Structure 1
Amino acid sequence: MPAMTSFEDADTEETLTCFHVTVYHPGQDHNQVFEGLNFCKREKLSSTEVVRFGRNPKLCHYIFQDKQVSRIQFSLQPFKDFNSSVLSFEIKNLSKKTSLLVGNIELGYLNKTEFPGRCIMRFGDYQFLMEKEDGESLEYFETRFMLAPRSLLEERHFGNPVPENRGSPSSSWPIEMDENEYRTDGEDDRNI
């Protein structure tokens, strides 16, 4: 009698961390700067890879068809923090001629920073809304590109991220108050 494979014996498929990247450039419609990107499809990559973005197809995984872009503009490298069970990423500026803004942090040549989980990244006229969706796998991750129809900086909901603990009283995000209201932490800011 042939052995039957049961569902209990089958390997469990781990979910993959996914990097969702929404891109925008003011000349994207007529310059085809994003022609080298595969939109709306997830691409699986090894977590041992350093993923490079730039204009040189021999050196970069993701290509921008624009002479204003450096041969290698920036890189994305996965790593695992000591106290974490999910992948983290660092972004490194590899352009000698252009700074890279990651949120409010300006990176010069060879500067790097840990990716905060969600931010707008910019260089030149390029804008990227980058969002990380955590998965279980440490071996692989995915990227998924989407094209924004207008500037990400003009999109109101992209400008200020909503804090994950928005209902928490210990939230450090500013709270909008009317000029006649006063703080409830014991200090009265009204000028009497």
Structure 2
Amino acid sequence: MTSFEDADTEETVTCLRMTVYHPGQLESGIFQSIAFGSREKLPSSEVVKFGRNSKVCLYSFQDKQVSRVQFSLQLFKKFDSSVLSFEIKNMSKKTNLIVDNRELGYLNKTDLPYKCMVRFGEYQFLMEKEDGESLELFEIQLIFSSMSLLQENNWPSHSPIPEYGRCSSCSTQSSSPTEMDEND
């Protein structure tokens, strides 16, 4: 018989809450394969992928404008910190990922702040992190928004301004290779 003092205490789990929006979401069924609202528990070593390919991506979008793997999220722990953080990595060769006002090209990655806006194409993701104690597990919760997150949260829209004909943060579609899907 175990006493109350010997019982395991339940650790809290770090959760990334992602509110998602796309202007054509109701007509097109883009998010039909996503279970909104429920929290999905994942091992801390898991790399979570988002994109069009449902065989590779945990969260898939029914949209040919989305790359097979658009972006990935991975949990990590900074040195001298007990808090877990997320990094986001752009996996698309054809579309830049915008994290707040920072543009990420193909294979670029950055740490996610506690609250930020992530965008590509017409997709908007408001990401909010809740800290937890567990180093073994984390959770992801997707929430559906019927309104634009940029307007709802007064987020500035991002459009790079060219400096005399060239834009250092812009990628020129004509000179960079684009991802081709052999099935399209």
Structure 2-normalised TM-score? 0.83
Determine the C-alpha separation between the residues in 1 that align with 2:134 and 2:33: 27
CA–CA separation in structure 2 for the residues paired with 1:106 and 1:48: 26
CA displacement at 1:59 relative to structure 2? 0.8
Tell me the secondary structure at the aligned position of residue 8 of structure 1: helix
1:159 has 2:161 as partner: no
- 1:39-118, aligned counterparts within 5 Å? 39-118=36-115
Q: Which residue of 2 aligns with 1:180?
A: none
Q: String of CA shifts for 1:133-185, please: whole Å, max 9, x gaps.
A: 00011111001111111111111x3528xxxxxxxxxxxxxxxxxxxxxxxxx
**1:137 aligned residue (121, 128, 134):** 134
State the TM-score, normalizing by the size of structure 1: 0.79
Structure 1 residues not aligned, in runs of 5+:
161-192
Query: Partner letter of residue 149 of structure 1?
Result: S
Q: Which structure 1 residue ranges, 4+ long, deviate > 4 Å from structure 2?
A: none
Q: How far did residue 38 of structure 1 move?
A: 0.9
Paired residue for 1:8? 5
Could you say which residue in structure 2 is the equivalent of 1:121?
Answer: 118
Match of 2:28 in 1: 31
| Post-superposition offset of 1:84 | 1.0
